[in-house]
Structure formats: C-alpha cells, structure tokens
Structure 1
Amino acid sequence: TTTTEKKPYYQSQFVNEWWDNGSLPIWITAQRQGLKAGSLHFPGTASSYQGQVAMVQEVEPLLYNYKNETAWRENSDKVMSWFRDRDLDFVSLYFGEPDGVGHKYGPDSPERREMVRQVDRTVGYIRHSAERHGLTEQLNIIITADHGMSTVFRNGLVEEITLSKIPGFSFRDLSFHLLDYGPSGMLLPKPGKLDDVYNTLKGAHPHLHVYKKEEMPEHLHYSKNDRILPIILWADPGYVINGYFPVQFNNGEHGYDNQEMDMKPFFRAVGPAFQKNLEVGPFETVNIYPLMCHILGIQPEVNDGHLSVTKHMLVISDSRGSGDEKTNHLKNAFTGLAAVAGFLVVTFIAIMSQKMLKRKHKNKRSYSFRDAQSEPVQSSF
C-alpha cells in the first residue's frame, strides 16, 4: 500500500521489500541460532530477510498445479530426504489446497469434500514417508491451516455490496484502493476527502462495516501497521466487497471476522515431543510459533503468542523437564482430520521437528507445512 502497486500472489513473492519488512520467518530465526533450515513452497520462501535466506529452498514454478496429489507426495518425500541427507533441523512445506477448490466451488461442495479426502490421504502418506526414511522416532509433526472458509451468497439471493452503486461515493475521491479481494478492502482518500468518503460509506449497506483505521475492533488486530490504509471495509459472512462492478465469482471466501466459527483453522500434532491421543481446547494460531521455537530449542522473536497456552500438549512441559501432564484423551486424532478439514481447512500445513543430540546440547529438528504482520523484529509465521 505504500507503493500503490498491486500484484498477483505469485509475482508478489519476488518483491523482496514486501516480505523483508521487519518480521522474520522462523527458518531465519532458527538459522541465526545455529540450526539448519529449509523451506519448500511456503509463502515467503523466495525472499531474503536482512540478507539471509533459507539454507535449502524451493519456490513453486509459475502455473504450478496446486492440486496434483502426485506432486504432494513427491514434495513430502523430498522434505524427508532433506532431513535425512542434508541434516536439516527445520523445513516448512506449503500445500495450496483445499483453498483453491474451496474458493471455486464453496466449502460444502462435493469438490471440496473430495479435496479434503486427498488432504487426508496425504497426511497418511507423510507419516509413511517419515517411516520409510527412518525418521518416525525423531519427527514431530504439526498439521494446521491459516484460516477457514465460508460460503458466499450468490444467484441473486442477496443485494451485493458494490461501492460504485452507493449514492454520493466516487472513486475520484480516492488516491488508491484495494478492493475486489473478498470480504475486506482498504481505501486511501485524497487529501481532505477522508471524512467525506467515510461518512458516505458508513451505513450505506446493512452488511458493510466501515472503519477508520483507529476505530478497528481490537480483536481483529488490524490497525497498528503503517501499511494499513486510513479506511477499512469489512463485510458480514456470505458477502464480498466489489468496487466498480461485481468481478468476484468465488463460491467460498475467507477474511471475515476472526470470531466467526467458519474462519477457524484446525490443529493436529504427533511425535516424540507430544503426548499421545490428547484432546485440547481451542487456542489462537499465534500460539503455534512459540511452541515450534520451544521444540526447536531456540529463542523466539517478539511475537503475540504464549508457550503457556500449548505447553500442556508436550511430554516434557518445559526445557528442564517437569514431567507429563494428565489431560483428557482422544482416540484416532489423525483419522478425524478429514471431518475437521472439510469445514475449516483452507491451506494445508504441517510442521515437523526432529530431535537429536548435537552442538553440545539437545536441539530438535522441525518440519512445517501450510493452504498466512514492527519495529522490534517480529515472528512472521
């Protein structure tokens, strides 16, 4: 937003300053503390951070088929070989489905359900691949996502939100805008036009919420960064925000209020660091980052997560080894993934860590997959 440039996601991966913005991905933090890290197709892999890149990296090619199950298996095997043959401690791996299918057909569609079955098969394949590579007793695996998916109302069932149709609103009053990206948008009014634009849009549609940057609800965590524009638009679930005219035809979207159940991802973990068959209550995704750092044995960057939220999942609850904690248990946690993912998963991620004795103390290896905000350095996972 500071450059007033717009690029598709793939091209944006190669605009280094958009990624190297004060935050650090966990693979850079791990390398700075003596570990070896890699990243395959994970957002941000193509960029350098304060002059550093992942020791081993692979960016997906242009026009990459994110749905190809054979490629998923090849990538899983490749990452396992990185651990075994290149002595890595951490790898991040990204799978772009069932996000694409969920957008195109909707989260409750037969196509989406079939893609979730593919995700489920891949989870099984990952575990078999770890076994074939001799990593089962060393590898911790976390499977999660960065958001959920909600059905978009279509077929004339609702009055769509189109800014150009709002009386009194004019794009001539704007210097820059980010619109037609689902249920949210941002506007940069021309000098002296902020209040006019704000007052015109406020209350103009019953399912459109309009905020000045400083008015954003605190639970959305969307007002502090200097890349956020002065006016922020937010739609209710089922609606998207169009600019000049409707150009969005997705049947599924994300980016709604993070308190909506449809927006919530899932979390699964297995490995020597984790208690077996343990069911835990809901927690915010930001708490996964300090958990990963703890398993890796590294000091986290400044972040909003807390290890205390996830510590009870671990066999050893702190670095000094305070012992196991007793909690309720869930049978067949991994077989439940497909049912959970069918409603919640958008992007498929797994994080794995491998424990070993090295560098004069006990470090641990980690592997992460994923369907993705500073004056002090912050974590960007």
Structure 2
Amino acid sequence: MFASTGLALAVLSLAACAPLQNRGNRSQLLLVSFDGFRWNYDQDVDTPNLDALAREGVKARYMTPAFVTITSPCHFTLVTGKYIENHGVVHNMWYNTSTGQKLPYYNTQGVSKWWDNGSLPIWITAQRQGLKTGSLFFPGGNATYQGEQVNVKKVESLFHKYNNETEWMQNIDTVMKWFVQDNLDLVTLYFGEPDSTGHKYGPESQERKDMVSQVDRAVGYLRKRIKENGLNSTLNLIITSDHGMGTVIKENEIFLKQVQNFSFQDIQFELLDYGPNGLLVPKEGKLEQVYQALKNAHPKLHVYKKEEFPRKFHYANNTRITPLLMYSDEGYVIHGRFKVQFNKGEHGFDNENMNMKTIFRAVGPAFKKGLEVEPFESVNIYALLCDLLGITPEPHDGSLKVMQPMLSGYPDPVAGSGALSPHSKKLQLVTGLTLVLGLWLGIY
C-alpha cells in the first residue's frame, strides 16, 4: 500500500509540474496601454467601444498607479509587479550622478543597464517558461535582460508622432499578425496618447476630448480585428494606462532659483524641470544647508531627505535615489535654474490624487461579463497576467487574490460559474487525477 501511495504521489507530482495550458488550445494575452488616460476621461466623451468593452467584460472603478506617476517607472511596475523602489526604474531618464550625464526618454529606452536591474519583466519570464512574447512600443521592451530580449519587438523612431491614427490601425494589424501567424502568446502594445495631447492642451481641453474619441475608435478597431481573426474565444484583452493627468497652475509657481538661501553652487547633481518631481545631490558638506533652505521654500513643495521620504510611496528605498528628493502638490511644477516647462497638463503627482488615477478594462474567455470591481493598485496586474498565461511569476509586490474576483473561474458574492482560470484548471486536473489514481490503487 505504501508503494502504491508513493507511485500515486509521484504521478501527481509530475502532473502538478506539467504546463498549465495545452499548447494547441492555449489562451493568448494582449496588454494595451494608452499613456496618460485618466480614470474619468470617458465621462465627458462619447466612448461606445470602451463602454461595450465594460459591458462585455470587467471594468475597475479606477486603478491607482505606482508613485512616481510617470511613464517608464509605472509601465515597468505593470510588467514586474513591483513598486518602483523595488524594480529600480525610478525615472523616465537614465542619469549618472557622478558625471551629471542624463539621457532623454527615447534614448533611455535603449539603455539596458537602466532596465536590467535585477527584476525580470513578464516577457522574459514567459519566454523562459516556453512561451513567445512581443512588444510594440511598450516602455522597457527594447532592453536586454540577463542576456535575453523580447522575441518580437517594434521600437518607435526618434521624434515619433504618437497621434497618427493611421499608424495606430497599422500597429493593431501588426499585433494581430503576431498572434495569428507568428503564434505569440503575450503581446504588450503601447500608445503615447492621450498623454501627449493632455500635456500640450490640458486635460480639460477639447483637444484632449477629441483624442479620447480617437482612442475609442482604436479600441473599436482592435476588437473588430480580434473577431475577424477568430481570436474571441482564445484572446484575453486588458486595456489600461500608467497614470492620469492634472491641470498645471501657473500662478505662484515653484522656482528654486528664487528661493532665499539656496544656491545651485551647492548642488553637485540635479534632475529638475520634468514636472512635479526633483532629485538633488548636494555637494559634500552641503546637504543640511540645502535641505533647510528648501524644506519651507514654498507651501506646495515637499522636500525630504531620502531616509525620511514617506514609506507609503514605496519609492525612495533604492540606491538610485538621491540624498534629497522633492515633489509638489497637484497642479504645481518645479522649475530649476530657468523656466522651461510650459505644459498645460502634467502628471507625476501623489498617486492618491484622483487626477492621477487611471483605467482598467478587461475582456475575454477568462473574464466575467458586465462586472465593475473596486479600485486596486497597478502593482497587482502582473500577478493577473501570469495567471492568465499559466506561468509561475517572479517574486513581486502584488497579489493575485485582489484580482481573482474578476475571473470567470471564481464565484461572485451571489453566485457564479463558468470557465476556469489556468490555475483553477490545473487544480481541477490534479484533483481528478488524485481521485482516479486513488480508486485504481485502492487508496479510497
């Protein structure tokens, strides 16, 4: 009997380690990000396609992004499941505090050492577990991680025009080809709007509203192409964003050059003039002097020593963060030596501000229909992505439990049934094998 039990356990162990999905009948996953899509942008614009997606799938009331609420750090949280201080992509720009060198957003996309900082994004994790992945313009998708790149990728050109609707449709067609012809399992697709329009014209402008209509048309075209390619029953689609957008207040601006008792001659390195955030390295022996000069310089400015930065932000505990860091209240930007910021809209503010909240929509065979869920943090999306792909995640800061109520394999508060998620299918398989083997071996 003990030998029979051992055999049963051995067989079950092999079953438990088997791939969660049959490669011939697996589900595929498309993660789409519309940069800077504030949580309520669909409330003052007619968005029939986003509305249909919510009716036929899952909608979150809103999603809370990671702090600092800027593009590259927040996108890397989506694909690693880590707070920014834990994945280390702390800014849109690569910088070197010793030499003073800085690289803009576009160039930083190609600096692998900035991204490859000990955290593996989901593309590489999935590939190491036998899946094929692709990235189209997605932040971080152009880097090399521990010697490995995304299987298939498309990178935007320098001075890329993000609002070209014709190109949007072409990119959607490219992604469909990747799924149907190239047999990819996971694709991440990035659009640089409505962020660019929100920056230039402001989040309350007619131009932003028009851009949201363009986004909605793109969602409609995407879903149309999914159906035409016969992917409705196999493709799970998630549409989200990195952060929201707030209106810039021009009055009573924060201008560090005008602060009494503060001098840039006391600063070794600065990263300023990129919205409401700032990083400073004072010269040796000058930290306390600079801190005292700045901490009460403006009622809308918050200045901290690195070790005193609020823990709730999960941002400062990283070697890349400078000894002094600051952020401003919503609506205010930080000017350094000269006033070079002229945007009417900005992000980077406290992630608890409602204007920094963003969207989450999901539809596909794994998701319930017509469900609105309570708000959650973006750090939880990674665990959901791994579950949908049936892969084992890397260590992360999120929780699959937070996301499970939206999956069709989990009952809602009243009642629920339907298709099982990959992990539920695996559990069902192992349970069935246990019963069959037990009966065969006389254990039960």
Is 1:95 aligned with 2:188? Answer: no
- State the alpha-carbon separation in 2 of the partners of residues 256 and 288 from structure 1: 21
Is 1:196 aligned with 2:289? Answer: yes
- State the alpha-carbon separation in 1 of the partners of residues 158 and 228 from structure 2: 31
Could you say what secondary structure the match of 2:190 adopts? strand
Q: Is the 8 A contact 2:238 2:362 kept in 1?
A: yes
Percentage of matched positions with identical amino acids: 58
1:174-323 correspondence runs (5 A) = 174-317=267-410
CA shift digits 1:54-95 (9 cap, x unpaired)? 111111112221001111111111101101101110011100
- State the alpha-carbon separation in 2 of the partners of residues 259 and 328 from structure 1: 33
Q: Is the 8 A contact 1:279 1:328 kept in 2?
A: no
Q: Is the 8 A contact 1:2 1:227 kept in 2?
A: no
How far the C-alpha of 1:291 sits from its partner, in A, is 0.5
How far the C-alpha of 1:300 sits from its partner, in A, is 1.1
Q: Is the 8 A contact 1:257 1:263 kept in 2?
A: yes
Q: Which has the higher strand share?
A: 1
CA shift digits 1:315-353 (9 cap, x unpaired)? 113xxxxxx334699xxxxxxxxxxxxxxxxxxxxxxxx
Residue of structure 2 in register with 1:50 after alignment: 146
Between stretches 234-243 and 14-23, larger displacement belongs to: 14-23
Which has more radius of gyration? 2
- State the alpha-carbon separation in 2 of the partners of residues 299 and 244 from structure 1: 48
Q: Is the 8 A contact 1:35 1:89 kept in 2?
A: yes
- State the alpha-carbon separation in 2 of the partners of residues 41 and 304 from structure 1: 25
Residue of structure 1 in register with 2:255 after alignment: 162
CA shift digits 1:1-55 (9 cap, x unpaired)? 4453211111111222111111222111100111111111101121110000011
Q: 1:327 to 1:23 in 2, by over 3 A?
A: farther
- State the alpha-carbon separation in 2 of the partners of residues 54 and 145 from structure 1: 21
Say which of 309, 325, 328 aligns to 2:412: 325
Residue of structure 1 in register with 2:6 after alignment: none
Q: 1:89 to 1:327 in 2, by over 3 A?
A: farther
- State the alpha-carbon separation in 1 of the partners of residues 314 and 240 from structure 2: 21
Q: Normalized against structure 1, the TM-score is what?
A: 0.82
Is 1:84 aligned with 2:180? Answer: yes
Could you say what secondary structure the match of 1:143 adopts? strand
Q: 1:85 to 1:125 in 2, by over 3 A?
A: same
Q: Normalized against structure 2, the TM-score is what?
A: 0.71
- State the alpha-carbon separation in 2 of the partners of residues 138 and 302 from structure 1: 27
Q: 1:183 to 1:328 in 2, by over 3 A?
A: farther
CA shift digits 1:231-260 (9 cap, x unpaired)? 111101110000012110000000101110
Is 1:127 aligned with 2:223? Answer: yes
- State the alpha-carbon separation in 2 of the partners of residues 146 and 94 from structure 1: 10
Q: Which amino acid aligns with 1:325?
A: D
- State the alpha-carbon separation in 2 of the partners of residues 326 and 235 from structure 1: 41
- State the alpha-carbon separation in 2 of the partners of residues 223 and 105 from structure 1: 32
RMSD over aligned CA atoms reads 1.8
